[in-house]
Chain A
Amino acid sequence: NAGVTQTPKFQVLKTGQSMTLQCAQDMNHNSMYWYRQDPGMGLRLIYYSASEGTTDKGEVPNGYNVSRLNKREFSLRLESAAPSQTSVYFCASSGSSGGLGNEQFFGPGTRLTVL
């Protein structure tokens, strides 16, 4: 099993450009998450999908949109990139949204730079 995969691994954008970060999991998990990791700020939740067909905002959703394409795939879109969105983005998945065994498993990350 590949676990959680993310594409691309690296990306450089100019201010105002748009892009979509892709995430897929092969663990048959119900819940999926998007985080950003910044120095001194730790991991912060952007959006989550508790189950297929649902999405909700996390702590820092401004400037982002998400799509839960099916049970396996969860994408994150930046419509008009800003330098403040320079960060490392991680996708994660878990078997349940709130019950025991809610360990989240992370992908390898996408390193995004916005110039």
Chain B
Amino acid sequence: EDQVTQSPEALRLQEGESSSLNCSYTVSGLRGLFWYRQDPGKGPEFLFTLYSAGEEKEKERLKATLTKKESFLHITAPKPEDSATYLCAVQARGTSYGKLTFGQGTILTVHP
């Protein structure tokens, strides 16, 4: 069974204090790993897709990396507007549809 575990559950940072969120996964052959941002009261917003170990993608202050067992979302010099819940999801090879297995999320709070 596919599993995704995100850590920490919650992270508080000061503005400008860089850090990383972790997503550990177990899947029977990875097709893709997805990162989403979710603001309170809203739907998840797509950020990145990673397909193979060693791949990296960047968007503004966010950088996602992937190994064979985990993914990191690095946040460089965060701002208060980066506060949100960050969700990680995996899709396994061989699924006949776009089944995603989600982690519980990391709640990020950035204080000014």
Q: Measuring CB to CB, which residues of chain A are less than 8 angstroms from any residue of chain B?
A: 4, 31, 33, 40, 42-45, 48, 50, 56, 58, 90, 92, 94, 96-98, 100-109
Contacts and interface: CB of A to CB of B under 8 A. Distances in A.
Contacts, number: 67
Chain B interface residue bracket vs A = 20 to 34
A98 B46 contact: no
**Which of A4, A48, A104, A109 is packed against the most chain B CB atoms within 10 Å?**
A104
A33 B97 CA distance: 10
Contacts of B96: 50, 97-98
Secondary structure dominating the interface of B: loop
B105 interface: yes
Interface in B65-112: 87, 89, 91, 95-100, 102-105
Contact of A40 (B31, B91, B98, B104): B104
Contact of A97 (B44, B97, B103, B104): B97
A4 B44 CA distance: 11
Interface string B41-80: 1111110010100000000000000000000000000000
